[in-house]
Structure 1
Amino acid sequence: MKRKNIIILLWVSLGTTLFFFLFFNQEKTFRNFMITMLLSVMYTFVLGVGNGVINESLNKRFPWSEATKTRAVLSIVSIIIGNFILVYLCNYMNYVVIQKVATTEEFFSPKYGVTNWFMINIALLITAFLHAKGFMEELKKTSKKEVVEQKLIAKSANAQFESLKNQLDPHFLFNSLNVLSSLIDENPGQAQKFTASMSKIYRYVLEQKDKELVTVEDEIEFAKTYCDLLKTRFEDSVDFVFEVSKEDLRKYVVPLSLQLLLENCIKHNFATSSKPLIIRIFSDGDILCIENNLQVREQIKESSGIGLANIVQRYSLLTKRNVFIEKAEDYFKVKLPMLANKPNIVNAKPDDEYKTYKKAQKRVKEIKDFYTNLISYCIVIPFLIFINLYTNSKSHWFWFPMLGWGVGVASHAFQVFGIGESWQDKKIREIMNKDKK
Structure 2
Amino acid sequence: MPLFNKQKRIQYLGFDDVRSCLIGIFIISFITNYLFNTTPERNTFDLIFIGYAVNVFFTICYWLLTRNILIFLRKKYPDFKDDKKRIIILILLVVCVVVVVDYVGGELTARFIRIFGYSSNHRVELKVLIPIVIITVMVMAIYEAIYLYNRLKKSIREEEQAKQVMIQAQLDTLRNQARPHFLFNSLNTLRDIIDQDSKEEAKVFVDNLSDVYRFIIESGNSNIISLEKELKFAQAYIHIQSERFGENLRVNWDIPEDKLSIMIVPMSLQLLLENAIKHNVVSRSKPLIINIAIIEDSLVVSNEIQAKSTKIPSTKIGLKNIEKRYQLISNKTPVIINDGENFTVKLPLLNPSNQKKGH
Which TM class, normalised by the smaller chain length? 0.5 to 0.7
- Residue equivalent to 1:130: 140
Paired residue type of 1:195: V
Cα distance change, pair 310–209 in 1 and its aligned pair in 2 (3 A): farther
Does the 8 A contact of 1:165 with 1:209 survive in 2? Answer: no
The answer as to 2:163 corresponding to 1:153 is yes
Name which of 243, 256, 260 aligns with 2:254: 243
Name which of 286, 301, 317 aligns with 1:275: 286
Paired residue type of 1:262: L
SS at the partner of 1:296? coil
Q: What are the ranges of 5 or more consecutive residues in structure 2 without an aligned counterpart?
A: 1-84, 115-120
Does the 8 A contact of 1:282 with 1:289 survive in 2? Answer: yes
Name which of 152, 156, 167 aligns with 1:142: 152
Listed as ranges, the matches of 1:401-416 within 5 Å are: none
The answer as to 2:272 corresponding to 1:261 is yes
Cα deviation code 1:162-219 (max 9, x no counterpart): 1111102211111111100100010123212111111101111122251111111111
The answer as to 2:210 corresponding to 1:199 is yes
Paired residue type of 1:190: E
C-alpha distance in structure 1 between counterparts of 2:313 and 2:202, whole Å: 27
Does the 8 A contact of 2:300 with 2:346 survive in 1? Answer: yes
Normalising to structure 2: TM-score of the pair? 0.67
Does the 8 A contact of 1:209 with 1:255 survive in 2? Answer: no
Cα distance change, pair 201–181 in 1 and its aligned pair in 2 (3 A): same
The answer as to 2:24 corresponding to 1:13 is no
Give the deviation of 1:330 after TM superposition.
2.0
Does the 8 A contact of 2:94 with 2:136 survive in 1? Answer: no
Listed as ranges, the matches of 1:419-434 within 5 Å are: none
The answer as to 2:306 corresponding to 1:285 is no
C-alpha distance in structure 2 between counterparts of 1:257 and 1:304, whole Å: 16
Cα distance change, pair 328–7 in 1 and its aligned pair in 2 (3 A): closer
Moved more, 161-170 or 125-134: 125-134
Does the 8 A contact of 1:252 with 1:342 survive in 2? Answer: no
Name which of 163, 177, 181 aligns with 1:167: 177
More helix by share: 1
**Identity between Structure 1 and Structure 2 (%):** 29
Does the 8 A contact of 1:215 with 1:249 survive in 2? Answer: yes
C-alpha distance in structure 1 between counterparts of 2:244 and 2:290, whole Å: 16
C-alpha distance in structure 2 between counterparts of 1:207 and 1:342, whole Å: 23
C-alpha distance in structure 2 between counterparts of 1:274 and 1:22, whole Å: 109
- Residue equivalent to 2:307: 296
C-alpha distance in structure 2 between counterparts of 1:233 and 1:285, whole Å: 34
The answer as to 2:357 corresponding to 1:347 is yes
C-alpha distance in structure 2 between counterparts of 1:136 and 1:334, whole Å: 51
C-alpha distance in structure 2 between counterparts of 1:305 and 1:298, whole Å: 19
C-alpha distance in structure 2 between counterparts of 1:254 and 1:190, whole Å: 32
Number of aligned residues: 265
Q: What are the ranges of 5 or more consecutive residues in structure 1 without an aligned counterpart?
A: 29-34, 44-89, 92-117, 350-437
The answer as to 2:262 corresponding to 1:176 is no
Does the 8 A contact of 2:178 with 2:317 survive in 1? Answer: no
C-alpha distance in structure 1 between counterparts of 2:301 and 2:354, whole Å: 23
SS at the partner of 1:151? helix
Give the deviation of 1:300 after TM superposition.
3.6
Paired residue type of 2:234: A
C-alpha distance in structure 1 between counterparts of 2:106 and 2:220, whole Å: 76
- Residue equivalent to 2:222: 211
* Cα-Cα RMSD: 2.7
